[in-house]
Structure 1
């Protein structure tokens, strides 16, 4: 998922995408524990996507907090 796609998401869609990516990452980890994945780089990509989404969520919360503080 690209940053431009993340920026276009609404807050609700962002929360849904975080849940989806976390669930996807967990299922990949379980599948990898049972038998090696054909492409283990997908684990890294999944973690990075979750991090990108959480970073955007935090940025939005901080931006909102700054607006209310001023």
Structure 2
């Protein structure tokens, strides 16, 4: 997910997405530990996407104060 797409989301949608992506990330890591994935770079990509979303949430929080 690109930064422009993240900025278009509402705050409540963004919070929901972060929770859903985090659950998916945790499941992906567990599955990879059990049996290796074809493309383990997906884990890195998802982790960075979650970080981008959390950064946007924090930025919005600071701007509202």
Report TM bin, short chain.
over 0.9
Larger Rg: 1
For structure 1, the residue ranges without an aligned partner over 5 or more in a row are 66-70
- 1:48 is displaced (CA, Å) by 0.1
Look up the SS of the partner of 2:18 in the other structure: helix
Q: Deviations over 1:18-60 (max 9, x none)?
A: 0011011001101101000110000101100110000000000
TM-score normalised according to structure 2 size: 0.97
Runs (4+) of structure 1 exceeding 2 A deviation are none
> Is 2:20 the counterpart of 1:30?
no
For structure 2, the residue ranges without an aligned partner over 5 or more in a row are none
